[in-house]
Amino acid sequence: MFDKFSGIEKRFDEVEKLLSDPDIIRDIKAYQNYSREHAELNKLVTAFRAYQSVETGLKESAGLLKDDDPEIKALAKDEIEELTAEKAKLEEELKILLVPKDPSDEKNVMIEIRAGTGGEEAALFVSDLFKMYSKYAENKKWKVEVMNHHATGVGGLKEIIVMVQGQGAYSRFKFESGTHRVQRVPVTETQGRIHTSAVTVAVLPEAEDVELKLDPNDIKVDVYRSTGPGGQSVNTTDSAVRLTHLPTGLVATCQDQKSQLKNKIKAMKVLRTRLLDAKIKEQTDQRAEERKEQVGTGDRSGRVRTYNFPQGRVTDHRIGLTLYKLESILQGEIDEIMDELTTDYQTRAIQNAESREKYDA
């Protein structure tokens, strides 16, 4: 593993020189790109240099064990014990830092929440999850923009699509994809029986203009009047927009704005993001073995989490994590779950890398 760091240090020194180059400083985009690379490399180089310093300290302390003075020997033993623990800690940190970064991690994210089995109760839980994610984003000072939604008659949502804008948004939300199950007594239940309903969540990194080139001739545009619960017309103009990507058949709609142009812009964002997701999925399907080892990515149909209201319990089935703090979680306090999922993913990635190294050897 540590052989890689000589090349990383060399690249770090190169980037530092480039950042002081007048031509690079004048080129804003190039300077920003090199600055981001420098920040990432700096984490690796700083940790590696700390590791090298600890190794040097261990060698020096090992030499002191041969000293005739018993007091110096005792001090050396204590020093070796402390440095050995620090070395193990830094080794784990370096392994995590070497886990390949998801290129989408720093992007904005589009979250699609849809009611599954359970009728109106599922629609109400769509609303609950939307509020949970919105509160989490609000706590992070991220912007939440509703792209499209379909409300039901009693305060639920058949579906809602939102864009969360903020640095690192995708890295935090990406493990939310899958089926979220809710167990509770519905408001309409007269005998107090617990019902189980399901909601599906899809998390997609926002597509940037440079990633996808769309031919306007490939997009069919339909306009119609927006509708609300029960199918009643929300306004009297044809402001709702439906975009269909003819080569793939992917569809995006938006009716949240009174302006047809604004709806079209939002629908285009949704369409581009879905097309990018399809492109990424096609690429990851070609690496099926690696994909099986990843937590929470790829298979959106799998049950990922259960929210049990009678017990106040939330269980993430992928990592066996159970928390008895349902109310606070629904208020957006989901960092603990996200941190555990990220740690589990990193651990699996490290194990895979070590297995490949053993196989190659």
How far CA 355 is from CA of 96, 101, 288, 344, 351, in Å, comes to 15, 19, 17, 17, 6
CA 262, CA 316: separation in Å to the nearest integer? Answer: 38
Q: Which domain holds residue 8?
A: 4-97
Task: Indicate if 156 and 288 belong to the same structural domain.
Answer: yes
* E runs forming strands in 57-184: 109-115, 143-151, 157-165, 178-184
pLDDT in tens, 291-347: 343 333 333 446 899 999 999 999 999 999 999 999 999 999 999 999 999 988 888
Statement to judge: residues 83 and 186 lie in one domain: no
CATH code of the domain in which 47 resides? 1.20.58
Strands 240-245 and 219-224, sheet pairing: antiparallel
Distance CA 304, CA 170 (A): 18
Going by the DSSP 8-state scheme, the letter that residue 227 receives in this structure is B
Looking at the structure, tell me whether residues 128 and 90 fall in a common domain: no
* 240-245, strands of its sheet edge to edge: 219-224, 240-245, 250-254
* Inside any domain, residue 221: no
Q: Are residues 115 and 179 in the same domain?
A: yes
Q: How far apart are the first and last CA of the chain?
A: 12
Sign (positive or negative) of CA dihedral 344, 182, 165, 223? positive
Q: What is the pLDDT of residues 225-235, one digit of tens each?
A: 766 655 454 55
Q: Is residue 50 a contact partner of residue 44, using CB atoms and an 8 Å limit?
A: no
The residue from 47, 62, 97 where one domain ends is: 97
Q: Point out the domain boundary residue: 70, 97, 124.
A: 97
**311: in domain:** yes
Residue 64: both structure tokens together: 């002191």
DSSP lists the bridge partners of residue 249 as: none
Compute CA distances 146 → 110, 111, 130, whole Å. 10, 10, 10
The two structure tokens encoding residue 158: 């058949």
Number of domains in the chain: 2
The pLDDT tens digits for 44-101 are: 899 999 999 999 999 999 999 888 888 999 999 999 999 999 999 998 888 888 777 7
Same domain as 340, residue 206? yes
Taking all residues of the chain, what is their mean pLDDT, rounded to a whole number? 84
